[in-house]
Amino acid sequence: MYKDLETKKIFNISPNPQTYWLIIYKFIFIWGMEFNSFLDYLLLEKKYSNKTIVAYKNDLKTFYDFNFDKFEQKGIKKVNYSQIRSWIVSLVADKISNSSINRKISSLNSYYKFLLKTGDIKINPLNEHKALKTKSTIQLPFSENEILNTLNSKNFKNSFEGFRDYLVLELLYTTGIRRQELIDLKIQNIDYSNRRIKVLGKRNKERYIPLIDSSLSSIKKYLEYRNKLKNIKSNDTLFLTSKGKKIYDNLVYRITKKYFSGFSTKLKKSPHILRHSFATHLLNNGADLNSVKDLLGHTSLAATQVYTNRSIEEIKKVFKKSHPRNKG
């Protein structure tokens, strides 16, 4: 990754094969020492998931590597904004999207805020930074008809995968849980007597969501097939692949896209759109905003109000198309 000349300058050792592993060790050691306390803070105090922490780690490492290559500087604690700006320019040149760049800078900003808190730096180099402009795209929820037509279709086979796929879609829509929350569901999370399911959300916060009759029935049917699987490798996990392993992100996405493709013309057919649909349909049918917030596992009303805004956009679209005064 690094040129011999740069290695010599940084580590002050002769770049030959005998010292190669010493170079690698020193690099990893320095990198680890710089970020370990921050990553521990995210895990232990902020209660971030492992997946989120890996994303932060990757973002920090990307800038660390760039700064090492470009400015021959060990560590990124004492960088200035012009160095970060150079990184942003290089990301743009690599055709990284503005939203992805903003996320990377957000990770970096969190790191510098942590260093301010611990007294390691006195000024955040990102204090004056302004996020790159991004296109505001409105993701419309599925209509109630699109969902009913999909779930009532004959595309679900009378097999393990058929019952699993049906339950995946039904739970995403009837509970509004996140994709990762669905993947992490345990069999013991299902409370049949109280007709509810326990969900472990972001930052390991637990919440209970009611289960409707059809969902409880679908769970029981699916479990009959699940329990017949051979070589189950994840006994507690609710959703498995046909090989007995825990399902994964891309599979949930593929399931959603596969079944909705025949009944929806929307460009995006993702698990998150089902979460949007859950919230929007509840609000459209008179549900209280605070109740929907709790069901979604949001910490603030602002996050839930996004779905209200999207519902309004849908109303505007219908109004523009249907109102007699708008017809030419």
- Could you report the per-residue pLDDT of 153-190, keeping only the tens digit for each? 999 999 999 999 999 999 999 999 999 999 999 999 99
Please name the helix (run of DSSP H) or strand (run of DSSP E) that holds residue 256, with its range, or none.
Answer: helix 249-260
Percent of the chain topping pLDDT 90: 60
Q: Residue 311 pLDDT > 90, yes or no?
A: no
> Of 202, 207, 246, 268, which one is the catalytic site residue?
202
- pLDDT bin (cut points 50, 70, 90) of residue 1 is very low
Annotated catalytic residue within 56, 111, 259, 307 = 307
Instruction: Give the per-residue pLDDT at 288.
Output: 85
Per domain, the residue ranges of the chain are 4-118, 144-324
User: Which of 165, 171, 166, 202 minimizes the C-alpha distance to 189?
Assistant: 171
Q: Can you say whether residue 133 is alpha, beta or left, with left for phi > 0 and alpha for psi between -120 and 50 degrees?
A: beta
Q: What pLDDT was estimated at residue 274?
A: 95
What's the CATH architecture for 144-324? Orthogonal Bundle (1.10)
AA identity, residue 83: Q
Tell me, what's the pLDDT at 14?
47
SS3 158: coil
User: How confident is residue 320, by pLDDT bands cut at 50, 70 and 90?
Assistant: low
Residue 124 to residue 106: CA distance in whole angstroms:
12
57, 108, 102: which is closest to 83 by C-alpha? 108
The answer to whether residue 47 is catalytic is no
Residue 227's nearest CA partner among 160, 156, 158 is 160
- pLDDT, mean of residues 231-260: 94
For residue 70, pLDDT over 70 is answered with yes
Which pLDDT score is estimated for 135? 77
In degrees, rounded to 5, the angle at the alpha carbon of residue 63 between the alpha carbons of residues 61 and 64 is 60
Least confident of 229-233, 245-249, 264-268: 264-268
Residues 6+ apart with CB under 8 A from 258: 165
Mean pLDDT for the chain overall:
84
Kindly give, in sequence order, each residue whose CB lies less than 8 Å from that of residue 144, ignoring residues fewer than 6 positions away.
281
Q: Tell me if 295 sits within 8 A of 201, measured CB to CB.
A: no
Q: Which is catalytic among the residues 275, 276, 281, 310?
A: 275
Any catalytic annotation for residue 64? Answer: no
Torsional sign, CA 110, 116, 120, 124: positive
Burial of 145 (0-12, 13-18, 19+ CB in 10 A): exposed
Structure tokens at 65: 């590597």
Q: Calculate Rg over the CA atoms of the chain.
A: 25
Decide if 225 is catalytic: no
pLDDT at 174: 94
- Dihedral of alpha carbons 269, 273, 278, 283, sign: negative
Tell me what the mean pLDDT of segment 297-312 comes to.
Answer: 70
Listed range (24-28, 58-62, 278-282, 290-294) with the worst mean pLDDT = 24-28
DSSP state of 269: -
Question: Is the model more confident about 238 or about 51?
Answer: 238
Of all residues in the chain, the percent with pLDDT exceeding 70 is 82
* Inter-CA distances, 10 with 23, 35, 36, 151, 155, Å: 10, 19, 21, 60, 61
Whether residue 281 lies in the annotated active site: no
Classify 119 as helix, strand or coil.
coil
What pLDDT sits at residue 308?
65
Task: Give Cα 77 to chain centroid, integer Å.
Answer: 28
Query: What's the whole-model pTM score?
Result: 0.66
Q: Which residues pair with 32 in a beta bridge?
A: none
Over residues 183-216, the pLDDT tens digits come to 999 999 999 999 999 998 887 889 999 999 999 9
Residue of 226, 281, 298, 310 marked active site: 298
User: Which listed residue (104, 164, 178, 269) is catalytic?
Assistant: 178
**Can you give the pLDDT at residue 270?**
93
Can you give the pLDDT at residue 189?
95
Task: Report, as an integer, the average pLDDT of 299-308.
Answer: 73
Structure confidence at residue 47 (pLDDT): 82
Measured between alpha carbons, how far is 262 from 209 in angstroms, rounded to an integer? 29
Lowest mean pLDDT among 81-85, 241-245, 324-328: 324-328
Q: Give me the sign of the Cα torsion angle 264, 266, 269, 271.
A: negative
Strand partners, 196: 191, 210
pLDDT band at 13; cut points 50, 70, 90: very low
Output the pLDDT for position 19: 53
Terminal-residue alpha carbon distance, the chain: 64
Please identify which residue in the block is written with the tokens 């605070």: 290
Instruction: Report the pLDDT averaged over residues 282-294.
Output: 86
